[in-house]
Chains A and B, each alone.
Chain A
Amino acid sequence: MKKYNILLSILFAFVLNLNGLSQCGNLMDVCHGKLDDARFIKSWPIQLPEQESGEPLPQVSFKMPLSSGTTYKIFACNAEEYPGEVIISIRNHNDDLVITSYMVEQQRHLPIIKFPVAMSGIYTFSFYFEGGKEGCAIGVVSSVD
């Protein structure tokens, strides 16, 4: 565990540097424990402005192939200096909504999603911030054995 904490400290520092997200604060502290023993596959920087009146909700989407037989661990880390809390939604190749990280009825965020994929395909990961607030985050896709 200690090994992973050290490694993740290094690698998330690089992500912040490479993506120019240093202004979002120290996401490393927020995020490093979530990967745990999973194998990192992909990450995306997410920085969105506050929603303006009459304008659509700011969001950003990425596509990624997911393979059947693999269990994916999907999560995001918010920059604490920003008010927005990120929400992930995942759609399959038919644009069917598979899941979101926000339980509307319970009004709570899911910190981690484990997704054992049974249908291979290209999935769309969309990110936006609750209530259209300004926010900064990193979305991470990893796999677990």
Chain B
Amino acid sequence: MKIKILSTLMLTSATALLYLGCGNGSANASNDAKTNYLRSLENENNISYAGKVNTDGSYITSMCYTRVKDDDGSLHNPCYSCHTKGRVPNYYNDTNLQKEYFFPETMLQNPFTNLFKDRSAAVAKISDSDILNYVRTSNYFDANGSIALAKVLPENWGGYRPDCYFDFDAEGFDHAPDGSITGWRAFRYYPFLGTFWPTNGSTDDVLIKLPEAFRQDGNGTEALEVYKINLAIVEAVVKQKSIALESSVDERLYGVDLNQNGVFDNTDEAVFNAADGFTKMAYVGKAKAQRQEGKVHLAGGLFPEGTEFLHSVRYIDWDEDEGHIRMAARMKELRYAIKREWKTYSELSRAADAELFEAQINGTTQGVMATFYGNYETGFENPQGWSYQGFIEARDGTLRPQTREETINCMGCHSHLGATTDSVFAFPRKFEGTDKTDKLSGWNHWSQKGLIGIPEPKMSYIGHGEQFEYSFYLQNNHSGNEFRDNDEVKAKFFDANGSLKPNMVEQLHNDVSVLLFPSKTRALGLDKGYRVMVQEQSFIYGRDANVHPMQNVYKTIEPEQETGITQAIVRQ
């Protein structure tokens, strides 16, 4: 009995010590500020920051519940775009998810009830001019042009504090109001299949920032030329292919054999060389020294640690002068990622194996619920060493930090898929043109140079060879999105028999906007549908901007249910 008293005391004291270690008086005040900030957001938006509200499995996306086999037996396969064989060092291979639903037991009941909502009445109440005014009003900048979140977030906010001004020069570099370079650089890329086509809901952009050492010369002085070369090197490393430099480089200035020809000379190319564990390649400037010191690393298919991405997901605006859509000022979400830790190929392989073998080792025929390390503030970590964190539109239209459950929503796509490169989608799909007049010039923001006139990308698939990537998607999905509720694309690209219209495919080959851009009516309808969801603050029940209930989605999945697809499509 007395021993029990003692051990209880020991525990209490130990706990007290732990808490004492965390804070002094001023930190407590800041903690209160953060607590108050989050609590008021919870009250205003009827949300909960910690814990589970709807589901443990918010990393599983709503489109994974799509019924891919019609009653008449016809098959639709949008699944392959994500669920495929990864390219090393992406050791994931989730091709099985084309064929089976493989959900954890508690996910058999579709938790994304927003999919089945009819928002048409609420949408009908919003006029076109109201929604256009709404989407044209920035919620990123306040009325004074300051970054709203940067001011609103409490002082001791441990996560990302927005620091990009979306003020890009001709080379895509972002500038602060004082003219300095922020480090963020915009790039253009082929939007990922389906979900990220504006016709399916949103416009978006992606920006990259390499850590300071990659932006400095050997003496630690900021040097834009060094940054540009390092970005090209990183692109070559990530894509595992040689990349043209933006301008000719004298290798002697950097002491790096960029073109891998054995001598220091002038070069127009950063050549990819995997030999000897990537030791033939090097970064330039201070990052070169840091790699030698083991502070940063270089290996094919991987970004160096410290790399950051910023991804704004926005409403669709309508450009009256040009007669097509454009990116809206208003953001739906601001997503942030930082690679905090280097993971070797062996570690990456082991992480993928742990998942691939989980079912076998546990002797189960069902999926096992994934858990991610981290939190909504500093982000949830994936096995590739990245943390993902985000902000989403609050009921009043401002941006607020995502809750835990909303943040975990990022993790399914950014961790377990075969389709990604180092868990990232856009940068591996970056355009590679270096000439500003090139249709496919890489370093610009979409607001500077859009998607019109961009030729269709190509991709190789096992057994199918090289295919036009978007046409192949339409051909295999027989629709323009996962849910098959995009009637506009259906009418535009498919005839009454459900076959692709050859003339439209031909147009698509030359200009992806033919497929990717919605009409004004569709664009504003999507905006309004999403606006209603923002008013509901119901993101954890599904973020899709559907106005009408989805027809091709299961409400429940049977244990061990197969999709009906028997022949998987796998990226080469």
- Pairing of A with B: no
